[in-house]
A and B are shown apart, each in its own frame.
Chain A
Amino acid sequence: MENSSIKKKRKKTVTRRAFIKGMGGGAIGATLAAGLLGRDGLTPGGQNVEPAVFEAKPITLTVNGKTVRLEVEPRETLLHVLRERLRLPGTKRTCDRGECGACTVLLDGKPVYSCMTLAARADRRQVRTIEGLAAGGNLHPLQQAFIDKDAYQCGFCTPGFIMAGAALLEANPSPSGDQIKAALSGNICRCGNYQKIHEAVAAASERMRSGLK
């Protein structure tokens, strides 16, 4: 463990500093880049604005349909913000390194590991967690299938599995067995209930399709 200087107080202010001020090379680089970017059609006109550099960033999250505004430190992960600040502990911290899937949430509808997602990056995006999956008090068909099939034991990895499974069913309402396995292969169930988890996703798929008919 290395030493670090004592930080008496964390700055909580937004700074928009001229990071490249006084760096001649950087300025030239910016000019040069303007032409190149223009040619490639990248961000026309953006090159003259100095980049924002944050020590804390005000963000707007839409979590389970509700919009919240808060200020986050750059290092704060989405998982941390959900659990500790928004008090949504359904999303679990198990490995904190993107190695287990228990923290899976949907970001703009796509499954991601919230432990490896900076909260600052979720700014102005839609976050869906296990707490927001049941609509109007009715369980999502996959949640019901997890109960019916007994697709968990300790239940700690369950929110992550359900979010990964729900994302799959949204993208592909009739997944094959192999597709189910592939979609859930980023989630670890240490209790070892994979077979029933698989069955639950298949059962939910069937139920959702018959409901549509």
Chain B
Amino acid sequence: MKNFKLAEPKTLSQASALLAGGNGRAALLAGGTDLLGEIKEGIRLPETVVDLMTISGLSFIRQDPAGLRLGALTAVAELAEDAAVGRLFPGLSQAARSVASPQLRRMGTLGGNLCQRPRCWYYRTAETVCRKKGGSKCFASNGRNRYHAVLGSGLCHIVYPSDLAPMLMALQARLTLFSAQGERTIPLAEFYALPSVNIQRENMLGQDEILKEVVVPLPGPGAKSAYLKFKERGAWDFALVSAAAAGTFSGRSASSLHIVMGGLAPVPWRMREAEEALRGKKLNEDLVRRAAKASLQEAKPLEENAYKVELAEVILSRAVMSLG
């Protein structure tokens, strides 16, 4: 592993200033489970690593009228084990429990999970300098692509690997972003960027901006949520396809419904057609399957990943049906 300097800020503003002063060669370290892998592989060579764990007060799960507030440095394991999270948002508990492995959930943080880099095997190999790393091509488009995107791709075929992001998006979570200019709050739905917007990064964070907090609006009566992750092996795997669904139900019909899928696109992918087709309807399997199919019509599979479209239809349907 190439060496770097380790900065230990005590405040977010110090951390932000370190980022700003790093001219793109400073990197934030939360749980470390992602960044250290990148440094070891040599695909990222920061001059300065800014340790966020030396800033106190960023790990919390707290309820107030605005919603459930989750500190960015809250360990994924804490989310998975928290009783309030489980009661208010069963889907979020499920998503947190499905992340990686017990050790990685203990080490990894909510913020790190939302800001993690993609797992594309070309991106993760130092020797293949793809567009995301400043190169001129996407090796996956005509290469080995069974795990790659079927929606929203083009220049780059990564899938966004987070389990928490689709679920929090379906729950309409908002993010508080910190920078020297102050804090701003944006919907998680506006956080991620397609390769067509920014090929080298997956989100809209400014250079000196730091994710500070996630706020999930409290559920009203009849609110339900679920996260269904389909992976190849029994544990410790990223989603081939995952579906997060959240809505407000009366009996088997949903007055509001949000469906966001993972494993399909470079960003968590909202299934708007399905949401619209199902809203206000009494759910049955046939209806949901048709809505899912309609939602996936835009899919453009590559040579080896057409099966993902089939899987997505099934997983979406099962996630939604588990609510109704």
Contact = CB atoms under 8 A, between A and B. Distances in A.
Direct contact of A and B (CB under 8 A): yes
B24 interface: no
Contacts of A41: 57
A98 B7 contact: no
Contact of A75 (B2, B48, B57): B2
A111 B178 contact: no
Contact of B179 (A29, A52, A117): A29
A53 B14 contact: no
Contacts of B182: 32, 36
The interface size bin for chain B is 35 or more
B6 A98 contact: no
B36 A53 contact: no
Contact of B56 (A4, A43, A74, A111): A43
B235 A98 contact: no
A53 B21 CA distance: 13
A73 B102 contact: no
B42 interface: yes
B8 A185 contact: no
A116 B36 contact: yes
Interface residues of A, number: 58
The binding surface of chain B is classed by DSSP as: mixed
B39 interface: yes
Interface string B28-68: 01001100110110100000110101011110000000000
Contacts of A28: 180
Nearest to A96: B40
A150 interface: no
Interface string B174-187: 00001111110000
Contacts, number: 176
B104 interface: yes
B9 interface: yes
A211 interface: no
Nearest to B10: A46
Contact of A42 (B4, B20, B57): B57
A83 to B, nearest CB: 15
A41 B69 CA distance: 15
A1 interface: yes
A118 B106 contact: no
24 contacts: A2-B126, A23-B20, A25-B17, A29-B20, A33-B11, A33-B16, A36-B178, A42-B57, A47-B10, A51-B8, A51-B10, A52-B8, A53-B5, A75-B1, A110-B106, A112-B106, A113-B33, A117-B32, A118-B6, A118-B29, A185-B102, A185-B234, A185-B236, A186-B235
Given A32-B180, A36-B183, 6 more contacts: A23-B20, A27-B17, A42-B57, A53-B5, A101-B103, A113-B104
